[in-house]
């Protein structure tokens, strides 16, 4: 799966998702794009999922018209030690057929979905 990390996700976290192609917004030159434009650019570039720790995304986006799936890690910070407990949970979620909704992934591995999917991602 082609994964885009938001600028707030420690890029070293990608090492813990070895079965996926992970790129950061900085590597794409997109760190200055606002979230709506960023999601459109990501979808246009063929990304399957956007990973962030920005818990406000669910309030800032039209969740019924998302161009790609979003996974928000409900982590206490963006420091790598705070993200590491999510690695296995993220891998399990990415192995599922994702819909174009916002997934809030909790530390215990459970998740909540927000929005009405416009389409499924492979």
Q: Domain coordinates of the chain in residue numbers?
A: 2-114
The continuous run of DSSP H or E covering 29 comes out as none
Token readout for 112 is 């909540």
Residue 50's CB: how many other CB atoms inside 10 A? 26
Rounded CA-CA distance 13/82 in Å is 10
Q: What is the pLDDT of residue 119?
A: 53
Q: What is the pLDDT of residue 65?
A: 84
User: Facing residues of 5 across strands?
Assistant: 24, 51
Q: State the chain's mean pLDDT as an integer.
A: 92
Rounded CA-CA distance 100/82 in Å is 26
Residues 63-120: tens digit of each pLDDT? 888 899 999 999 999 999 999 999 999 999 999 999 999 999 999 999 999 888 765 4
Q: What is the pLDDT of residue 91?
A: 97
Between 22 and 36, residue with greater pLDDT: 22
- The pTM assigned to this predicted structure is 0.92
Token readout for 101 is 């909704």
Q: What is the pLDDT of residue 74?
A: 97
Q: What is the pLDDT of residue 34?
A: 85
Token readout for 117 is 């999917």
Residues 3-28: tens digit of each pLDDT? 999 999 999 999 999 999 999 999 99
Q: What are phi and psi of 82, to 5 degrees?
A: -75, -25
């Amino acid at each position: 799966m082609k994964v885009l990390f938001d600028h707030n996700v420690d890029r070293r976290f990608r090492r813990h998702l070895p079965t996926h192609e992970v790129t950061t917004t900085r590597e794409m030159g997109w760190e200055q794009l606002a979230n709506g434009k960023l999601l459109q650019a990501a979808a246009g570039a063929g990304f399957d999922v956007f990973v962030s720790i920005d818990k406000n995304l669910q309030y800032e986006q039209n969740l019924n018209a998302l161009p790609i799936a979003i996974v928000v890690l409900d982590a206490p910070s963006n420091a790598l030690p705070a993200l590491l407990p999510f690695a296995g949970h993220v891998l399990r979620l990415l192995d599922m057929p994702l819909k174009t909704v916002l997934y809030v992934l909790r530390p215990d591995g459970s998740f909540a979905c927000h929005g009405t999917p416009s389409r499924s991602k492979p």
